[in-house]
């Protein structure tokens, strides 16, 4: 098969998968098998494109012109293949987890859930492989719409409210800021194609570039840059697999991916550095990542804390894009990957705890490490990776961004990153400490437990007798992603090699 | 031979079919006649489109009497575009009409309903195709009278007051139009539009001509429901039968917009004159107010049909906004939106017709939980609603894109901001429906409803698919609109 076919298949496979899921809705086992097969097939398909891109190729799939200046077309470049691989690979892991979680919690409307998931993945891949801003925008909006039913999944007042905020902010910012950014870019540059080196150099003044960057930074609400981050904590009403894959990986990463793409291929890093137009964004992103960490400290709800942690970590990537030095850009791209594995682990854990004990608040987690040792062990590893400690993947991306900041002579950035890491420790480690070093609450009869089957945790007895893990379909995926955080520590060269490709400007 | 007489056939076919329906007095036969007549009219419009594309402007002397003595039918790119929209929407709606009409009316009333439908279509096609000012008035009255009847046939008694309201307002509008035409005739001695277009530019600063302009402006604005002359529209759309709402929303206001373009750009002499009057500024302000006021009112409606009726007022504001720029880009956007909105709104009213058919209500509270009971109907409404918001991948995005481009051409950033903010309000009311329909427990009325019958769904889905298609391939919508806009600005007729 030609590379172009693989591009088409990357969007086609999940779409067909969604249809098959609808058709097999009467047989849950078959339906879940379809999800797994689709996810596996999709990853294998996207993987076929990797060697081509590594060899310097830029596979294309030409589409059609909608109206002058607006074209639907696809091209695979290093950043896109990285995002595509992350999203499709973690979909496989997440699908196993979803099965365990959705069945373990006896969630309603599961068919709708799996269908929306598949459509979301199709649009994420569309975003990853877009050859121009219009195509990206098209899939960006489909991604918003397809994930809306997932956020509103529970259908109660809280879920409806969360979903309303989700839709209003994401769709609203894209209409009010993203569309003008598109029109303006087209008016200045005459094209919306992603071009190595950017399309605005020599055409836009520093002020214009700065304003345009602001339209993009706030128009791409999925990047959750403060003050348009509010949708993300509100989206946490969704079932945990949604928070894990979509609101830690696919959706938010689509946002920061778009910011990076715009920074590299629309503005061009040289143009940004020469005009200094992105300097304000460095300050804002730094503020965003620190402020979100501080807010995270105040949250007792585990998912809410993780959500603000995500807002903070997305700030790192926007920061890298704004600094725009080569090292910072590579660091930002790498952080998409590293944070994905770390954060999905943490969300998996939050969901596993909910499935096993129906606990949602951190203050309820005293001694839970004795009951769920594997789960909480994985949490520890994932948390270390988010903090950025070796030997885990997160260490590298943060290092690159800090080095990039030094290159750009933003010394305060280095200081801010150090403070942020301390804050990360402060909001993640208490969870681990409570889980492993605090005795269980004496009157613990499983708070909020609808089933009443949570026996009081015995102080003594063998490990096996006091263990009460979530279904293995939940536990194995989270251990796997935690292990992957460790593996990724040994892979920075390969990733840097791949991402170098996005900075090559043909002369 | 046949192709030669297409301009006459365009109007004569539905005109003759109407009394035929009334004569047979059988619902099913009436429906068959109506289907045949509207589809033939659509075919005639397509035929005319290709003739105009090949030969340029067609002039047809009705009955062989050459103008200015006889009535001339004159077809150019601008009105053939509208003919295609009107007859196209008309022929998609008519297959849909059968189920609902047969369930509610007895045989005779059904036949009358189809007769009225055909007369309304005749009138609208006649207004569009004719090159004679007085003929415009005549056809306008035919279509208006027929649509009063069609509105009054709604199941709700309030339909009668709505029809009466429309009758009064419509008659006021028509009177203004006929006074304007009379003044023009007094000044030039001709009723032929092409002749008027030649003579008026020389005298267009005289007082009677300016008075004519004023009368025509008000009269046509009433017909196209420009804010604040829109008051007849919400009730008329809300209480009329679904077929009527869909038909009027897709065609009547669109033809009025065509009249507006024809008088201001062609008759009064190209874009130059239009720009020398305060009209563009006036229309700009009114359009923007319409977009905000009507959308905001729509958000607070509890009757979904009424909600979309107000939405129509807002969307018409978007079209007149495009017209008010007096630029090729703006006119392209306006004509594209005329095309796209006709399809979107007709589709929405048809789908709501399906809801009405099953539940005998389109109240928002009754539609709670309907997303699971009528999945295709609701999915269609969501897609068309997204097009109203202007989501990429739907036709609504394309028209908005062009109108935003036009604002940008004039460096009016604040207008870009206003257009997009108005889209946000659209998002609010569409979002309201989605939330109620999908994430509430089914209401008592929705508890045991089924999906709408296929005979209603399939025609509506033709329009849903068209909305997506014209969001991705725009050579027939934007492509034609762009050429028509260039002709309008140049005053070619």
- Tens digits of per-residue pLDDT, B90-133? 999 999 988 888 888 888 888 899 999 999 999 999 999 998 99
Query: Mutating which of A147, A169, A175, A183 best tests the B interface, going by the most B Cβ atoms within 10 A?
Result: A175
Residue A448 has pLDDT above 50, yes or no: no
Every domain of chain B and the residues it spans:
278-493
Name the residue in chain A with its Cα closest to that of B406. Answer: A183
Phi/psi at B391 (nearest 5 deg)?
A: -75, 140
Q: Do A66 and B427 touch (CB under 8 A)?
A: no
What pLDDT score was predicted for residue B81? 93
Q: Is A141 on the interface with B (CB under 8 A)?
A: yes
Mean pLDDT of A242-248: 83
Q: Secondary structure of chain B: what % helix, strand, coil (to 5)?
A: 80, 5, 20
Chain B nearest C-alpha distance from A140 (Å): 10
**Would you give the DSSP letter of residue B363?**
B
Q: How does the average pLDDT of chain B come out, rounded?
A: 90
Q: Is B56 on the interface with A (CB under 8 A)?
A: no
Mean pLDDT of A184-207: 88
List CB contacts (< 8 A) between A72 and chain B.
Answer: 472
What pLDDT score was predicted for residue A447? 45
Q: Which residues contact B457 (CB under 8 A, 6 or more apart)?
A: B354, B376, B377, B380, B451
What pLDDT score was predicted for residue A454? 46
Mean pLDDT of B430-444: 85
Q: Is A448 on the interface with B (CB under 8 A)?
A: no
Residue with structure tokens 């996005």? A502
Name the residue in chain A with its Cα closest to that of B400. Answer: A179
Q: Do B393 and A138 touch (CB under 8 A)?
A: yes
Q: How does the average pLDDT of chain A come out, rounded?
A: 87
Q: Do A183 and B401 touch (CB under 8 A)?
A: yes
Mean pLDDT of B139-144: 93
| Omega before A227 within 30 of 0, i.e. cis | yes
What pLDDT score was predicted for residue A465? 65
Residue A456 has pLDDT above 80, yes or no: no
Q: Do B401 and A138 touch (CB under 8 A)?
A: no
Name the residue in chain A with its Cα closest to that of B416. Answer: A180
Q: Is B476 on the interface with A (CB under 8 A)?
A: no
List CB contacts (< 8 A) between B438 and chain A.
Answer: 149, 152
- In whole angstroms, what is the distance from residue B437 CA to residue B359 CA? 13
Name the residue in chain A with its Cα closest to that of B399. Answer: A67
Q: Output the CA torsion A67→B477→B321→B383 (10° steps).
A: -80
Q: Is A189 on the interface with B (CB under 8 A)?
A: no
Q: Do A180 and B438 touch (CB under 8 A)?
A: no
Mean pLDDT of A272-281: 89
What pLDDT score was predicted for residue A452? 42
Q: Is A149 on the interface with B (CB under 8 A)?
A: yes
Residue A148 has pLDDT above 50, yes or no: yes
What would the pLDDT profile of A162-175 be if each residue is shown by its tens digit? 888 998 899 999 99
Least CB–CB distance from A142: residue in B390, B393, B420: B393
For B111, the token pair is 């036949």
Query: Mutating which of B375, B383, B401 best tests the A interface, going by the most A Cβ atoms within 10 A?
Result: B401
List CB contacts (< 8 A) between B402 and chain A.
Answer: 67
What pLDDT score was predicted for residue A449? 43
Q: Do B420 and A155 touch (CB under 8 A)?
A: no
A309 touches A294 (CB < 8 A):
no
What pLDDT score was predicted for residue A507? 59
Least CB–CB distance from A172: residue in B386, B408, B424: B424
What pLDDT score was predicted for residue B314? 94
Work out the number of other CB atoms within 10 angstroms of the CB of residue A490: 11
Q: Is B73 left (phi over 0), alpha (psi -120 to 50) or beta?
A: beta
Q: Do B438 and A149 touch (CB under 8 A)?
A: yes
What would the pLDDT profile of A330-388 be if each residue is shown by its tens digit? 999 999 999 999 999 999 999 888 888 888 888 888 888 888 888 899 999 999 999 98
- In whole angstroms, what is the distance from residue B403 CA to residue B219 CA? 25
- In whole angstroms, what is the distance from residue B184 CA to residue B193 CA? 10
Q: Is B468 on the interface with A (CB under 8 A)?
A: no
Q: Give the lowest-confidence range in B151-160, B294-303, B425-434.
A: B151-160
Residue B272 has pLDDT above 90, yes or no: no
Q: Which helix or strand (DSSP H or E) is residue A61 part of?
A: strand A60-67
Interface of B with A in 377-416 (CB under 8 A): 386, 389-393, 398, 401-402, 404-405, 408, 413, 416
- In whole angstroms, what is the distance from residue B201 CA to residue B207 CA? 13
List CB contacts (< 8 A) between B405 and chain A.
Answer: 183
For B380, the token pair is 């269609």
List CB contacts (< 8 A) between A183 and chain B.
Answer: 401, 404-405, 408, 416
What pLDDT score was predicted for residue A446? 45
Q: Do B389 and A171 touch (CB under 8 A)?
A: yes
Q: Give the lowest-confidence range in B177-186, B353-362, B434-443.
A: B434-443
What pLDDT score was predicted for residue A466? 66
Mean pLDDT of A156-161: 85
DSSP for B93-118 reads: HHHHHHHHHHHHS-HHHHHHHHHHHH
Q: How confident is the model at residue A453 (pLDDT cuts 50, 70, 90)?
A: very low
Least CB–CB distance from A141: residue in B391, B413, B416: B391
Residue A450 has pLDDT above 50, yes or no: no
Mean pLDDT of B266-270: 77
State what percent of residues in chain A have pLDDT above 90. 42
Biggest alpha carbon distance in chain A?
73
Q: How confident is the model at residue B426 (pLDDT cuts 50, 70, 90)?
A: very high
Query: Mutating which of B299, B392, B474, B478 best tests the A interface, going by the most A Cβ atoms within 10 A?
Result: B392
B122 touches B109 (CB < 8 A):
no
Residue A42 has pLDDT above 90, yes or no: yes
State what percent of residues in chain A have pLDDT above 70. 95
Mean pLDDT of B323-337: 91
CA angle A65–A66–A71, rounded 5-degree value: 50
What would the pLDDT profile of A389-441 be if each residue is shown by its tens digit? 888 888 899 999 999 988 888 889 899 999 999 999 999 999 998 888 888 87
- In whole angstroms, what is the distance from residue A75 CA to residue A161 CA? 38
Query: Mutating which of A22, A66, A212 best tests the B interface, going by the most B Cβ atoms within 10 A?
Result: A66
HEC profile of A192-206? CECCCCCCCCCCCCH
Residue B194 has pLDDT above 70, yes or no: yes
Chain A nearest C-alpha distance from B414 (Å): 11
Q: Do A159 and B439 touch (CB under 8 A)?
A: yes
B183 touches B250 (CB < 8 A):
no
β-strand pairing of B58-61 with A70-75: unpaired
Q: Do A163 and B401 touch (CB under 8 A)?
A: no
Interface of B with A in 409-428 (CB under 8 A): 413, 416-417, 420-421, 423-424, 427
Residue A38 has pLDDT above 70, yes or no: yes
Q: Is A171 on the interface with B (CB under 8 A)?
A: yes
Q: Give the lowest-confidence range in A51-60, A173-182, B437-446.
A: B437-446
Chain B nearest C-alpha distance from A72 (Å): 9
B264 touches B204 (CB < 8 A):
no
Mean pLDDT of B390-412: 91
What would the pLDDT profile of B58-86 be if each residue is shown by its tens digit? 888 888 888 777 888 999 999 999 999 99
């Amino acid at each position: 098969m030609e590379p172009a076919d693989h591009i088409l298949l990357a969007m086609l496979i999940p779409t067909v998968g969604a249809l098959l899921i609808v058709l097999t809705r009467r047989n849950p086992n078959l339906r879940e098998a379809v999800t797994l097969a689709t996810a596996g097939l999709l990853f294998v398909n996207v993987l076929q494109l990797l060697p081509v891109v590594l060899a310097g190729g830029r596979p294309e799939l030409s589409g059609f012109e909608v109206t002058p200046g607006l074209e639907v077309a696809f091209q695979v470049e290093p950043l896109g293949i990285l995002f595509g691989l992350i999203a499709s690979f973690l979909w496989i892991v997440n699908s196993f987890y979803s099965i365990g979680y959705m069945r373990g919690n006896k969630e309603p409307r599961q068919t709708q859930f799996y269908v929306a998931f598949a459509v979301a993945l199709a649009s994420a891949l569309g975003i990853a492989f877009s050859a121009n801003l219009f195509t990206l925008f098209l899939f960006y909006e489909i991604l918003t719409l397809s994930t809306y039913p997932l956020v509103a999944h529970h259908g109660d007042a809280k879920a409806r409210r969360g979903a309303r905020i989700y839709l209003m902010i994401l769709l609203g910012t894209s209409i009010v800021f993203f569309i003008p950014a598109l029109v303006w870019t087209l008016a200045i540059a005459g094209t919306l194609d992603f071009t190595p080196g950017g399309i605005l150099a020599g055409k836009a003044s520093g002020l214009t570039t700065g304003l345009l960057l602001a339209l993009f930074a706030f128009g791409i609400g999925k990047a959750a840059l403060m003050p348009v981050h509010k949708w993300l904590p509100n989206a946490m009403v969704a079932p945990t697999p949604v928070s894990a894959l979509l609101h830690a990986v696919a959706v938010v990463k689509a946002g920061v991916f778009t910011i990076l793409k715009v920074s590299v291929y629309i503005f061009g890093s040289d143009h940004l550095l020469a005009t200094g137009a992105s300097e304000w964004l460095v300050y804002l992103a730094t503020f965003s990542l620190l402020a979100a960490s501080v807010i995270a400290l105040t949250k007792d709800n585990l998912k809410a804390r993780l959500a603000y942690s995500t807002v903070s970590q997305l700030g790192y990537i926007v920061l890298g894009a704004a600094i725009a030095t080569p090292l910072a850009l590579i660091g930002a791209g790498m952080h998409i990957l590293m944070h994905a594995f770390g954060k999905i682990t943490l969300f998996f854990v939050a969901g596993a705890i909910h499935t096993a004990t129906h606990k949602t608040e951190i203050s309820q987690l005293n001694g839970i490490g004795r009951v769920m040792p594997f789960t909480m062990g994985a949490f520890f590893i994932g948390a270390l990776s988010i903090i950025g400690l070796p030997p885990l993947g997160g260490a590298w991306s943060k290092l690159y961004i800090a080095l990039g900041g030094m290159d750009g002579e933003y010394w305060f950035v280095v200081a801010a990153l150090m403070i942020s890491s301390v804050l990360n420790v402060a909001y993640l480690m208490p969870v681990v400490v409570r889980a492993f070093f605090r005795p269980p609450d004496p009157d613990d009869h499983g708070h909020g437990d609808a089933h009443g089957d949570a026996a009081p945790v015995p102080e003594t007895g063998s490990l096996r007798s006091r263990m009460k893990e979530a279904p293995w379909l939940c536990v194995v995926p989270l251990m796997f992603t935690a292990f992957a955080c460790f593996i990724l520590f040994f892979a920075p060269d390969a990733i840097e090699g791949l991402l170098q490709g996005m900075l090559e400007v043909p002369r | 031979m046949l192709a030669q007489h297409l301009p006459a056939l365009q109007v004569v076919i539905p005109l003759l079919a109407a009394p035929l329906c009334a004569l047979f007095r059988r619902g099913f036969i009436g429906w068959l006649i109506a289907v045949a007549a509207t589809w033939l009219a659509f075919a005639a419009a397509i035929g005319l489109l290709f003739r105009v594309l090949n030969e340029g402007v067609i002039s047809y002397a009705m009955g062989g009497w050459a103008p200015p003595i006889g009535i001339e039918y004159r077809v150019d790119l601008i009105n053939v575009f509208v003919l295609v929209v009107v007859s196209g929407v008309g022929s998609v709606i008519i297959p849909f009409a059968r189920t609902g009409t047969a369930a509610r009316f007895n045989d005779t009333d059904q036949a009358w309903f189809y007769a009225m439908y055909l007369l309304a279509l005749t009138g609208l096609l006649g207004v569009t195709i004719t090159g004679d000012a007085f003929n415009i008035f005549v056809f306008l009255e035919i279509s208006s009278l027929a649509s009063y009847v069609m509105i009054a046939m709604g199941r709700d008694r309030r339909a009668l007051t709505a029809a009466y309201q429309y009758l009064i307002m419509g008659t006021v509008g028509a009177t203004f139009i006929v006074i304007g035409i009379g003044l023009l005739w007094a000044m030039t001695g001709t009723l032929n539009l092409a002749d008027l277009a030649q003579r008026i530019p020389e005298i267009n600063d005289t007082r009677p001509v300016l008075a004519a302009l004023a009368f025509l402006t008000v009269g046509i604005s009433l017909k196209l429901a420009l804010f604040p002359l829109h008051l007849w529209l919400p009730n008329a759309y809300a209480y009329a039968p679904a077929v009527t709402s869909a038909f009027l929303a897709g065609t009547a206001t669109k033809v009025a917009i065509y009249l507006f373009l024809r008088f201001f750009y062609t008759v009064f002499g190209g874009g130059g004159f239009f720009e020398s009057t305060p009209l563009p500024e006036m229309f700009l302000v009114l359009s923007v107010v319409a977009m905000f006021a009507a959308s905001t009112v729509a958000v607070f409606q509890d009757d979904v049909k009424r909600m979309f009726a107000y939405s129509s007022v807002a969307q018409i504001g978007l079209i007149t906004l495009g017209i008010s720029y007096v630029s090729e880009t703006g006119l392209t956007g306006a004509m594209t939106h005329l095309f796209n909105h006709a399809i979107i709104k007709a589709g929405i009213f048809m789908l709501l017709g399906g809801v009405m058919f099953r539940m005998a209500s389109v109240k928002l509270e009754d539609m709670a939980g309907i997303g699971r009971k009528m999945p295709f109907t609701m999915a269609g409404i969501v897609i068309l609603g997204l097009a109203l918001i202007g989501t990429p991948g739907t036709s609504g995005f394309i028209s908005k894109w062009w109108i935003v481009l036009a604002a940008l051409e004039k460096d009016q950033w604040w207008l870009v901001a206003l257009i997009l903010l108005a889209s946000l309000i659209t998002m609010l009311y569409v979002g309201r429906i989605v939330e109620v329909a999908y994430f509430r427990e089914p209401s008592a009325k929705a508890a045991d409803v089924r999906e709408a019958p296929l005979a209603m769904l399939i025609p509506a889905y033709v329009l849903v698919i068209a909305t997506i298609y014209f969001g991705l391939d725009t050579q027939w919508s934007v492509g034609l609109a762009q050429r028509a806009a260039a002709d309008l600005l140049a005053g070619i007729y």
